[in-house]
Chains A and B, each alone.
Chain A
Amino acid sequence: MQIRITLNGRKITEDVSPDLLLLDWVRAHGCYSVKRGCETSNCGLCTVFMEDKPVLSCSVLAVRADGKRIETLEGLRKEAEEFGAFIAGQGAEQCGFCNPGMIMNAIALFRENPEPSEEEIKEYLAGNLCRCSGYEGQLRGIQAFLAYKKGGGIQ
């Protein structure tokens, strides 16, 4: 099947197999930030934006993205660096494998709700598993980032 996807701002037209997962398609196009942590849409590692909405790319066929805009962390480098520095500031990135998915979803949260409460943060990111951090360091990083944004982006 022929699909047309705008991946991180770049228009790609391609013939793909109807059973190709979006996850495998974006990785084949060099978006290695997108990880597979399970095959059952439980871990959140494969989160990408489809038309600005976070989706689990392991559970979306590439053909479903036909005609749509897909963004991965590679396309959000500035935001990833700005927010990621706060996760790093806590040492909470640890092995890093879950980070891209969590950071994608966190960016989605900040866009949707710029001043989330602790409960709102936990709830929004509940689908992003992490086995290293115990989540506390991620929460501290998120809260420090929100305080920084509220202060006009000055640390």
Chain B
Amino acid sequence: MKTVGKPVIKKDAMALVTGQPVYTDDIAPKDCLIVKVLRSPHANALVKQVVKEGAMRIPGIEAVYTWEDVPGKRFTMAGQTYPEPSPYDRLILDRHMRFVGDPVAIVAGADALCVDQALAALKVEYEVLPAVLDFRKAKDHEVLVHPEEDWRSLCPVGADNRRNLCASGSMEKGDVDKVLADCDVVVSGSYHVQAAQQTMMETFRTFCYIDTYGRLNVVSSTQIVFHVRRILSHALDIPKSMIRAVKPRIGGGFGAKQTVVSEVYPAFVTWMTKKPAKMVFSREETQTASSPRHEMEVSVKIGADKTGNIRAIDVHTLSNTGAYGEHGPTTVGLSGTKSISLYGELDAHRFTYDVVYTNKMSAGAYRGYGATQGIYAVECAVNELAAKLSVDPVKLRLDNMVREGQVMPAYYGETNTSCALDRCLLKVKDMIGWEEKYPCRELGNGKVRSVGLAMGMQSSGISGVDVGSATIKLNEDGIYTLLIGAADMGTGCDTILAQMAAECLDCPVDEVIVSGADTDTSPYDSGSYASSTTYVTGKAVEKACEKLTRQIKERACQILSCSDETLFFDGHQAKDLDTGKTVGLKEIGTASMCGNNVALQVTETHSSPVSPPPFMAGAVEIELDKETGHVEIIDYVAVIDCGTVVNPNLARVQAEGGIAQGIGMALYEKVQYTEDGKLLNNSLMQYKIPTRLDVGKIRVEFESSYEPSGPFGAKSIGEIVINTPAPALTHAIYNATGIWFKELPVTSEKIAMGLLK
């Protein structure tokens, strides 16, 4: 292959490294109204009254809106395909405040100063209610987070607002209890993952304006333009035809921007005032009123016989969706399906779950999407099983891991069509020096070096749901334009999809212009989430380019007055093999603009009935100080099977970035609430994402399988990469201390206190 598999530089790279104004706030009109919201100081309260008059009198204030001013139709902010599994439990502004940070009022004014003054001048009378803050007590609690009559669940996900249930359900194969009773060894444990924050560097932001046709234009830092259009139509109760959603460059997403976090507020202001309006979330708002990972407690039982044959896995997940149900019913599923399925040929498995509402910040989508929580729990339990059996954890996994060709009963019965997990694990073992280093060695100065490992998997798009589309057209100079509705959020999908187009069309990547994403001009795409873009949209690109090539040939045949059988086209030139006459691509493109009836533009759509999982193995070497509990990462190695690697540089950086994020979640990133339900970690001062001094050395390699259903054999890479650090580090910390820590993050403090016991 000429282009696929090459480390092509991202199309937007030079604009980004030279600091060009390409992000939402850089291109917002200068006369935008500044939009901010007043947020509830109470975890559960009813707004009795908002006195606006003082605020309205402040010079420059354009509008103050409260629950009385907004449409009364509930919707969800989750960027999912309609009908969304997430319940319709939101209003733009509600009278009922359900977490500290829930918006009470929207204020719009000429500048930030007057808006801040107006926010301070608003007088709100609350009826403070008791709150349900402990997710372990939320189900059937006397306090209901959503007591309202018009709460709606569109899909059969086992939701019941009268029980604080956002979803519940189960799946099983075989008699798990019986098999577990029959096992020689059973390991069980409950693993607690906190609501970690995506912490993309660009906070949530959106600006809106009314265009020539009276339509609401929404320019937003989003992964999901088409879902934004639909959600705003629901929220504002206006026709979808009146809305256009566009994304400029995005300063990181990681799933955070798969939820419509900031859009509704400026959209409402612009729709009401017909004036341009902008909302930029502060970091504090982004930390306290957004869409972080679902806090989960994952309880695992794993049974094996004494030879180390894993026979049964039982997973129960309790997930905390917080005040609203965005992505609640769907994230939880992955905690079972993508953890149990790492192990093939089980006699039985069971997965049960409850997703509960609480009066904390609502959760959303974050890279890994529930799989991260489930894999952390199951991989920790497997490591504990290895310790209990006195078997090398590498051997235990090699003996039990899912293999290519196996049917995966816990993964919707899909067949594992491409899998190099065994090669990934063996390579990781070599790279980290497992034979010499496992489990640990004392350095003699109170410090100990140890290793730990874990495996992971994810999916490639949502099978039977996600839709990717591509429009490709030939222009007059023989250059192509590729229009996509997928959202490059820094991942490089514009470039990766252009590489695929260039490969199909046999042209340089530079001759493929990429444009997206814009609901008015892009072909429909669910958006960039669920590790779908390379696999699903990539296939649409492949299909579109194949069809365009056929149409280019058709036009060439007309020009050369020859038949399809004698025409040879090499991507640059078409030749009639009978006469030797040729016509170049430039001429074909130009000829398409004169007396032509063959459209040299094609749109193709793709949806996949399957979602082939990428796989990976990760291993870490740490140095742990037994006096202080400090963990220093010496070396993190990962080997990934994402099928064909479309762009090795971009895939590698995805992996390194995901691993660093996983390290942050595993060791540093704390989520702490006061007794009243106020989040303490509300700044980057308090919420410590890793710096470059905290992640050690990260080394990534690829062991590719070939996925027949993917474009050029590719699967996905975006999410899987965050799944191994938490269990691998927990394992290494056990190997250094003899203590199994079952709650993230495993801070130095916890380790030091654990060692004192």
User: What is the bound-complex CA distance between A70 and B18, given in angstroms?
Assistant: 17
Q: Which of A34, A73, A135, A138 has the most CB of B within 10 A?
A: A135
Among residues of B, the one whose C-beta sits closest to the C-beta of A45 is B201
B702 at the interface (CB under 8 A from A): no
Q: Which residue of A lies closest to B27 (CB)?
A: A32
- Give Cα A87 to B20, complex, Å: 16
Known: A80-B17, A91-B647, A131-B657. 7 other contacts (CB 8 A): A33-B21, A91-B7, A94-B491, A131-B200, A131-B201, A133-B656, A137-B649
Chain B contacts for A83, CB-based, 8 A: 17
Chain B interface size range:
35 or more
Q: How far is the CA of A123 from the CA of B7 in the complex (A)?
A: 29
Binds B, one of A36-44, A59-67, A109-117, A146-154: A36-44
Q: Which of B92-100, B249-257, B505-513 contacts A (4 or more CB under 8 A)?
A: B249-257
Please list 7 pairs of residues, one from A and one from B, whose beta carbons are closer than 8 Å in the complex, sorted by A's number. A35-B23, A39-B282, A84-B16, A91-B10, A94-B653, A99-B16, A139-B692
A135 to B663, CA, bound (A): 13
Q: Please classify the interface of chain A as helix (H, G, I), strand (E, B), loop, or mixed, using the class held by over half of its residues.
A: loop
The answer to whether B656 touches A131 (Cβ under 8 A) is no
A134 located at the interface, meaning its Cβ lies under 8 Å from any Cβ of chain B in the complex: yes
A-B pairs, top 5 by smallest CB distance, nearest first, are A33-B19, A95-B490, A84-B17, A96-B16, A97-B251
| B644-688 interface code vs A (CB 8 A; 1 in, 0 out) | 000101101101111111000000000000000000000111000
- Residues of chain B within 8 A (CB-CB) of A99 are 16-17, 19
8 Å CB interface, B14-48 against A: 14-23, 26
- Is the pair A85, B14 in contact by a Cβ cutoff of 8 Å? yes
A33 shortest CB reach to chain B, Å: 2
In the complex the two chains form, what is the Cα distance from A37 to B20 in whole Å? Answer: 16
Q: Do A91 and B695 touch across chains, with their CB atoms under 8 A apart?
A: no
Counting CB contacts under 8 A, is B199 at the interface? yes
Contact of A55 with B by CB under 8 A: no
Q: Does B202 contact A (CB under 8 A)?
A: yes
Q: Is B756 an interface residue (CB 8 A)?
A: no
Instruction: Name A87's closest neighbour in chain B (CB-CB).
Output: B17
| A131 in contact with B661 (CB, 8 Å) | yes
Indicate if the CB atoms of A39 and B283 lie closer than 8 Å: yes
- Whether the pair B698, A129 counts as a contact (CB closer than 8 A) is no
Closest B residue, CB atoms, query A88: B13
B653, A90: Cβ atoms under 8 Å?
Answer: yes
A56 within 8 A of B: no
- Residue ID in chain A nearest B17 by CB atoms: A84
Question: Is B9 engaged at the interface, CB distance under 8 Å to the other chain?
Answer: yes
A136 to B663, CA, bound (A): 14
Is B201 a contact of A134 with CB atoms below 8 Å? no
Question: Roughly how many angstroms separate A95 CA and B202 CA in the complex, as a whole number?
Answer: 9
Measured between beta carbons, the chain B residues less than 8 angstroms from A72 are: 19
CB of B489 closer than 8 Å to a CB of A? yes
CB closest residue in chain A, given B286: A38
Contacts of B13 in A (CB 8 A): 84, 87-88, 91, 93, 96
**A115–B14 alpha-carbon span in the complex (Å):** 25
B17–A132 CB distance below 8 A: no
The interface residues of chain B lying within 8 Å CB-to-CB of A97 are 23, 200-202, 251-252, 490
0/1 string, B278-289, CB within 8 A of A gives 1: 000011100000
Closest B residue, CB atoms, query A119: B693
Query: For A37, what are the chain B residues with a Cβ–Cβ distance below 8 Å?
Result: 201-203, 283, 684
Binding site for A on B (CB under 8 A): 7, 9-10, 12-23, 26, 198-203, 249-254, 282-284, 489-492, 647, 649-650, 652-653, 655-661, 683-685, 689, 691-693, 695, 697-698
Residues of A contacting B491 in the complex (Cβ-Cβ under 8 angstroms):
94
Q: What chain B residues lie within 8 Å of A87 (beta carbons)?
A: 13, 17
Across-interface contacts of A137 in B (CB, < 8 A): 649, 652-653, 656
The answer to whether A32 and B649 have CB atoms under 8 Å apart is no
Residues of A within 8 A of B (CB): 32-35, 37-40, 42-43, 45, 72-74, 77, 80-81, 83-85, 87-100, 103, 122-123, 125-139
Q: Is the CB of B9 within 8 A of A88?
A: yes
Interchain CB contact under 8 A, A73 and B649: no
- Which one of A81, A91, A125 contacts B653 once the chains associate, using CB atoms below 8 Å? A91
A99 to B249, alpha carbons, bound, how many Å?
13
A35 touches B695 (CB 8 A): no
| B473 → A minimal CB distance (Å) | 27
Q: Give complex CA distance A128, B15 in Å.
A: 19
Chain B minimum-CB-distance residue to A122: B692
> Cα distance A73–B252 when bound, in Å?
21
Chain B contacts for A84, CB-based, 8 A: 13-14, 16-18
Task: Give the distance in Å from the alpha carbon of A93 to the alpha carbon of B490 in the complex.
Answer: 8
A35 to B23, CA, bound (A): 10
How far in angstroms is the closest Cβ of chain A from B46?
31
For residue A11, give the distance in angstroms from its CB to the closest CB of chain B.
22
A42 contacts B695, C-beta separation under 8 Å: no
Q: Which residue on chain A has the smallest CB distance to residue B8?
A: A91
Question: Which of A32, A94, A129, A134 is the one whose CB lies under 8 Å from B684?
Answer: A129
* Contact between chains at A42 and B683 (CB < 8 Å): yes
Q: CB < 8 Å: which of B10, B14, B202, B697 contacts A35? A: B202
* Across-interface contacts of B23 in A (CB, < 8 A): 35, 97
Task: Report the Cα distance A87→B201, complex, angstroms.
Answer: 18
Cβ of A89 and Cβ of B9 under 8 Å apart? yes
Please indicate the chain B residues that have their CB under 8 angstroms from the CB of A138 in the complex. Answer: 692
Residue among B14, B18, B649, B684 with most chain A CB within 10 A: B18
Q: How far is the CB of A129 from chain B (nearest CB, A)?
A: 6
A43 and B684 in contact (CB under 8 A), knowing A88-B14, A135-B695? yes
A133 touches B657 (CB 8 A): yes
- Would A134 and B284 be within 8 Å (CB), given that A73-B19, A80-B18, A100-B19 are in contact? no
Q: How far is the CA of A39 from the CA of B659 in the complex (A)?
A: 26
Contacts of A88 in B (CB 8 A): 9-10, 13-14, 16-17
Q: With A91-B492, A133-B657 as given contacts, are A77 and B698 in contact (CB-CB < 8 Å)?
A: no
Chain B neighbourhood of A45, CB < 8 A: 201
Q: Which chain B residue has the least Cβ–Cβ distance from A81?
A: B18
B6–chain A nearest beta-carbon distance, Å: 12
Whether B252 lies near A95 (C-beta < 8 A) is yes
Q: Give the docked Cα–Cα distance between A99 and B16 (Å).
A: 7
Task: Let me know if A96 and B659 touch, CB within 8 A.
Answer: no
Q: Which of B7, B16, B650, B684 has the most CB of A within 10 A?
A: B16
Chain A contacts for B17, CB-based, 8 A: 80-81, 83-85, 87-88, 93, 96, 99, 103
Asked whether, in the complex, the Cβ of B692 is within 8 Å of the Cβ of A91, the reply is no
Q: Are B693 and A42 in contact (CB under 8 A)?
A: no
A41 to chain B, nearest CB (A): 8
For B658, give the chain A residue with the smallest CB separation. A134
Which of B15, B18, B19, B689 is A131 in contact with, Cβ under 8 Å?
A: B689
